């Protein structure tokens, strides 16, 4: 069984559990993922299946991708993702992966692209404390001294400095599955997951 499904993050809400306690919930729409290609060790060097999901108009599919879908004999999809499997012979093009595959799941790992924050300073990016806030101080939000003396006369690699923040592939592990709605293809997960609204996320059984 494929233990992974892709979906879109719809947003966050809250529900009450059996003890009447409020739980923060992330709602993920995971429509059936269709197998568009099966890769085997003999033909591709490894075993994997290619999952397609999301609707797209045929006129918006470029020629290389249209040829790929035509060769496999499947309808075009907006997104394609690959999942490694142990035995590729168990799967066939056209099979579908649904939220029912995770019906018994208690914990899942969710992977997504974090929200982009642009260029950020050390206080926002690395949680530095900063300097005094008084007017007489000339040290407020700067990183402080980072250089060395004549030996080694350079800045060490790996220092926490200002720079681009966000837009990273982030995995949040061991999130609790609160509910799975097979009719509406919804997965309700306790807590926050990486990415903004409508971001593509991967849901996988926790290891």
Express each pLDDT in 74-90 by its tens digit.
999 999 999 999 998 89
What was the pLDDT predicted at 207? 83
The reply to whether the predicted model has a pTM over 0.75 is yes
**CA 91 – CA 40 distance, rounded (Å):** 11
User: The tokens of 95 are what?
Assistant: 């099979």
Contact in structure between 30 and 2 (CB atoms under 8 Å)? no
What share of the chain in percent tops pLDDT 90? Answer: 87
For residue 66, CA distances in Å to 56, 58, 128 come to 11, 8, 50
Give the model's confidence band at 186: pLDDT under 50 very low, under 70 low, under 90 confident, else very high: very high
* Mean per-residue pLDDT of the chain: 94
**pLDDT at position 60, please?**
95
176 DSSP β-pair partners: 107
Cβ atoms within 10 A of the Cβ of 189, count? 26
Residue range 182-196: average pLDDT?
95
pLDDT, mean of residues 124-137: 95
Q: Are 2 and 83 in contact (CB under 8 A)?
A: yes
In tens, the pLDDT along 96-127 reads: 999 998 988 999 999 999 999 999 999 999 99
CA atoms of 57 and 51, how far apart (whole Å)? 18
Give Dmax (Cα) for the chain.
72
Q: What pLDDT band is residue 149 in, cutting at 50, 70 and 90?
A: confident
156-171 tens-digit pLDDT: 999 999 999 999 999 9
Q: What is the pLDDT of residues 26-47, one digit of tens each?
A: 999 999 999 999 999 999 999 9
């Amino acid at each position: 069984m494929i233990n992974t499904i892709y979906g879109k993050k719809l947003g966050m809400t809250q529900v009450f559990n059996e003890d009447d306690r409020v739980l923060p919930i992330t709602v993920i729409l995971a429509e059936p993922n269709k197998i568009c290609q099966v890769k085997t060790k003999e033909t591709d060097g490894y075993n994997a299946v290619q999952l397609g999901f999301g609707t797209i108009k045929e006129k918006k599919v470029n020629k290389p991708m249209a040829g790929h879908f035509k060769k496999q004999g499947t309808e075009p999809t907006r997104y394609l993702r690959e999942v490694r499997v142990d035995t590729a012979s168990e799967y066939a093009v056209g099979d579908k992966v649904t939220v029912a595959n995770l019906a018994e799941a208690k914990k899942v790992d969710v992977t997504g692209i974090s929200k982009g924050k642009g260029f950020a300073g050390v206080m926002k990016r690395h949680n530095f404390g900063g300097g005094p806030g008084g007017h007489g101080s000339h040290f407020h939000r700067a990183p402080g001294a980072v250089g060395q003396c004549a030996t080694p006369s350079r800045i060490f690699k790996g220092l926490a400095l200002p720079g681009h923040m966000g837009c990273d592939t982030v995995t949040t592990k061991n999130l609790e599955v609160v509910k799975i709605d097979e009719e509406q293809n919804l997965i309700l997960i306790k807590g926050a997951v990486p990415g903004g609204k409508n971001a593509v996320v991967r849901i996988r059984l926790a290891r």
